[in-house]
Amino acid sequence: MKAKAIKFFSPEDNVSVTEKVKQKKEDPEGYVSPTGKLVIPLAALTELGIEPEETLFKIGAQQGKTKLKFLYLIPTTETEGSFALQKTGRGFSIPLENILKKGRVDYQNVKYIFTISMFNYQEGVVGYELALASTEPKAPYTGKPRGRKRKEVTEG
C-alpha cells in the first residue's frame, strides 16, 4: 500500500478568525503627560521585559524630520547621554519637555498616546519604537478635489 500525504490539523486551525483577532496581542501603549513626560505603565514594561530601575536609554528620532512621529529608545549601559526611567504613580516616565517642544508635539493642549513596538537595532540590541498619535480627530479636508472629474450619469 502506498503512503498517502496527510495534512494534520492543530487546535489553532479550529479557532474562528474573530477569536484569533481577539487573541492577538496588541502592542503595549503609553502616553505623553501634559508636563512633557513619556509615561509608560508598569504592565507595558513587564510585557516588553524592561527592568525599569536598571535600564538606561538613548533616545532618538528619524533624521531630517521636523515633526516627531516616532521616538526610538535604545537600551544602553553608558551613563553619559542616556535617560533613566523615573517612578511616577502606577508607571515610569522619562521627562522630555524640550525635545517634544522642538519636535512640534503640542503635549500641553492635545493628549498624545504612543504604541511601543520592538525592532532589531544592531546585532544583539533590541530597540523600542514609540509611534506617537494624537487622540483628537483629524481635521476635515477643505482643499480642492484632486484627480479626474467624475462624469455625471444621465438616465434617458
Cell of 44: 507595558
Q: Is the pLDDT of residue 10 over 80?
A: no
Cell of 31: 502616553
Residue type, 154: T
The pTM of the full predicted model, rounded to 2 decimals, is 0.71
pLDDT at 156: 55
Residue 32 pLDDT grade (very low, low, confident, very high; cuts 50, 70, 90): very high
**For 140, phi and psi rounded to 5 degrees?**
-65, 150
pLDDT at 17: 53
Whether the CA torsion 8, 11, 14, 20 is positive or negative: it is: negative
pLDDT tens digits for range 63-89: 888 888 999 999 988 888 889 999 988
Cell of 2: 502506498
pLDDT tens digits for range 129-152: 999 988 888 778 888 877 887 777
Per the model's pLDDT, the better-predicted residue between 34 and 1 turns out to be 34
pLDDT at 21: 43
Return the number of other C-beta atoms located less than 10 Å from residue 94's C-beta: 20
Per the model's pLDDT, the better-predicted residue between 26 and 29 turns out to be 29
pLDDT at 79: 84
